[in-house]
Amino acid sequence: MNPLLTFGLVLLVLYVAGWLSRRVGVSSVVGFLLAGLLLGPGGALPVFTSGVVVSLFAELGLLLLLFYMGLEFSIARFVEGGRRTAVAGAIDLLHLPVAFGLGWLLGFGLWASAFLAVAVYISSSGVIARLLTERDLIAYPEAERTLGVLVFEDLVMVPVLGLLGWLVAGGSPVALLGVAAFLAAYLLAVRFGSVWLNRLLNRDGESLVLVGLALVVLVSLGGYTLGFPEAVAAFLLGMWVSGSDAKAGLAAALEPWYFAAAAVFFFDVGLQVNALEALQAVPLAALLLVVVTATQTVTGVLAGRATGLSWRGSFGHAVMLLPRGEFTLVVLALAAAAPQIASAERASLQALVSSFVILSVVLASVLYGRFDAVTDALSRPWRRRTSSRQAADDWAAVASAEAGREPHS
Amino acid sequence: MSDSDAPPQIREATLPGVGKKYVMPLRAGGNVAIVVRPDGERQLFHFLEHEDRPCDVLKVDPDEAQQVANLLGGSMVEAPDLGELQVALGGLEIEWVPLPDGSDLVGMTLGSSQLRKRTGASVVAILRGDTAVPNPEVDTSFEAGDTLLIVGSEAQTDAARATIEAS
């Protein structure tokens, strides 16, 4: 097929897939992924293959996803969350060993299990922020904790992806030298180059789009050349830009590219997966989802209770953190590029994680839709064990404890 | 509870990727939480006493939020009316006056318009598209679409506005 025709048709298909997902009430990520599954080489309607144009846009989409993740991230917000965010985020780390163990038990190798653990660990900021807003849950005390944990997860992703990238590249000391060189250059740039960055990005219209895209792509590639994972390089660049005056302008200028390229990225993830294998992986993905949900319930409730939420709020925190989406697929894409994972293992990992993401987003939509009933039912047995007096004072305790940590009051 | 003479305490929290949340305990019991999104939409949540789940949600767009703020407290900020932005500077007023379509002043120079002689107000700058002409000379001429930045007493700027708008 003519590459341009392929591109046009892919965009059209993605538009329809996104529209259908919104009609059904799930994240459009699921629609893009399913479209890739169904229309890919292993799908029911094998129309598309991952050709030059689709791969190019998919790679750009991966970089822009991480760049925008970095753009939204800020150390200041993390610090503002304080001890509560740190405690809740640390408890949430329990997902890593549990998912790694499950992957190992399912017969995956060391590398595949490690990528599976990271993929399953990271919740979907996009899906969660949208559901919290749409379902009017944003003012619940546990929503604040949930959004804080998402920032914590982003922070964990940087060293974890960096480490995995380095190990996958052979883990040699020479490679470490390149990684260190990139990090040193980055830190120097952040320390001394911010004036230069502001001047570079202080433009508008086509100049800003061209300079911005070139910056994202070339900085990421520069990292890649030095053996530094390009996705993490894009994230770090986003973090740097987020502190500059140009942040809002650049974010707005690149948004159309981000929307289109990220959609193609999710589609391309679907193209890589054999639809039949994904279908066969559904029972296994359901098992994985059960384990993740159980782990999330334990960690969420522990984190909630340890940081002053009521029983109901703690179960609410667990439910809120459940959706896995775009970043899980990002980790899957990085796993697919790892030479240590044999092709048969890669195929089953891709099938498992794709099915898992779809199931998790659907389950989350259902749970968020009945949020009050679900959290009431889950927390009722526990609330009986506490005296009614204590339960009634939970909010007051939260309010006073949180007021107490305000540095200005 | 707290001393009712103390001003209400407001707790501020950033909701990453969503906006800002402000929580204020109410003296009558319960809390009100206000979530401000980057696009200006505000959501107000009412929590009853001893409840950590809101009993009611109110969503307002930026215009409605401004009206609600006006109704709730007369002393709160009024929406700036950019069409007639006035700045009081010790009796001096600064006004922005756009030239009307088909104005007689178009093509005239600042000197020949005799604006200061007729009204007492001075033209201190001309805003032209995205650029500005600061301190225009007497031989600077007006162009269609110009906005004049004029300074003077209230009577002078009013007279100048009337003159320009009638031109």
* Domain residue limits, chain A: 50-170+266-401
| Per-residue model confidence (pLDDT) at position B1 | 45
Return d(Cα A213, Cα A56) in angstroms, integer. Answer: 13
Supply A34's token pair.
């399913």
- Helix, strand, or coil here: B158? helix
Domains of chain B: which residue ranges?
11-72, 83-166
Average pLDDT over residues A66-88: 82
B141: β partners: B109
- Helix, strand, or coil here: B89? strand
Q: Using pLDDT thresholds of 50, 70 and 90, give the confidence band for residue A118.
A: very high
Which residue from B minimizes the CA distance to A309?
B52
Looking at mean pLDDT, say which of A40-49, A290-299, B96-105 comes out highest. A290-299
pLDDT at residue B130 is higher than 90: no
pLDDT at residue A124 is higher than 50: yes
Ramachandran sector of residue A80 (left: φ over 0; alpha: ψ -120 to 50; beta: rest)? alpha
Q: Which of A163-167, A271-275, B136-140 has the lowest mean pLDDT?
A: A163-167
Per the listing, tokens 């993401």 go with A357
Q: Are B76 and B65 in contact, with CB atoms under 8 Å apart?
A: no
Q: Using pLDDT thresholds of 50, 70 and 90, give the confidence band for residue A72.
A: confident
Candidates A133, A313, A406; nearest CB to B52: A313
Return d(Cα A174, Cα A331) in angstroms, integer. Answer: 25
Residue A239 forms contact with B (CB below 8 Å): no
pLDDT at residue A172 is higher than 80: no
| Per-residue model confidence (pLDDT) at position A408 | 38
Interface touch B33/A392, C-beta < 8 Å: no
Name the DSSP letter for residue B135: S
Candidates B18, B23, B53; nearest CB to A372: B53
pLDDT digits (tens, 9 = 90+) for A201-228: 888 889 999 999 999 999 999 988 888 8
| Per-residue model confidence (pLDDT) at position A386 | 57
Interface touch B17/A125, C-beta < 8 Å: yes
Q: Are B27 and B7 in contact, with CB atoms under 8 Å apart?
A: no
The count of other CB atoms within 10 Å of the CB of residue B86 is 12
Percentage of residues of chain B with pLDDT beyond 90: 6
Q: Which of A137, A147, A327 best probes binding to B when mutated, by most B CB atoms within 10 angstroms? A: A147
Supply B108's token pair.
């005239």
pTM for this model (two decimals): 0.75
pLDDT at residue A373 is higher than 80: yes
pLDDT at residue A368 is higher than 60: yes
ipTM: 0.72
Residue B35 forms contact with A (CB below 8 Å): yes
- Please state, rounded to an integer, the average pLDDT across all residues of chain A: 87
Looking at mean pLDDT, say which of A28-32, A177-181, A338-342 comes out highest. A28-32
Q: How many CB pairs under 8 A join A and B?
A: 74
Interface touch A125/B51, C-beta < 8 Å: no
Residue B32 forms contact with A (CB below 8 Å): no
- Helix, strand, or coil here: B98? strand
| Per-residue model confidence (pLDDT) at position B77 | 52
pLDDT digits (tens, 9 = 90+) for A378-401: 988 887 765 444 444 445 445 544
- Helix, strand, or coil here: B70? helix
Closest CA of chain A from B13, distance in Å: 8
Interface touch B50/A392, C-beta < 8 Å: yes
Ramachandran sector of residue A399 (left: φ over 0; alpha: ψ -120 to 50; beta: rest)? alpha
Q: Using pLDDT thresholds of 50, 70 and 90, give the confidence band for residue A403.
A: very low
Q: What does each C-alpha distance from A219 to A222, A231, A258, A369 come to in angstroms?
A: 5, 10, 17, 41
Q: Which of A80, A137, A395, A405 best probes binding to B when mutated, by most B CB atoms within 10 angstroms? A: A395
CA B151 to chain centre: 19
pLDDT at residue A406 is higher than 70: no
Q: Using pLDDT thresholds of 50, 70 and 90, give the confidence band for residue B93.
A: confident
Neighboring chain A residues of B43 at a CB cutoff of 8 Å: 136, 138-139
Which residue from A minimizes the CA distance to B38?
A248
Return d(Cα B43, Cα A20) in angstroms, integer. Answer: 28
pLDDT at residue A133 is higher than 70: yes
Closest CA of chain B from A118, distance in Å: 22
Return d(Cα A279, Cα B167) in angstroms, integer. Answer: 76
Residue A150 forms contact with B (CB below 8 Å): yes
- Helix, strand, or coil here: B141? strand
Per the listing, tokens 């992806």 go with A161
Q: Which CATH class is domain A50-170+266-401?
A: mainly alpha
CATH for B83-166 is 3.30.70.1450
Residue B73 forms contact with A (CB below 8 Å): no
Q: Using pLDDT thresholds of 50, 70 and 90, give the confidence band for residue B5.
A: low
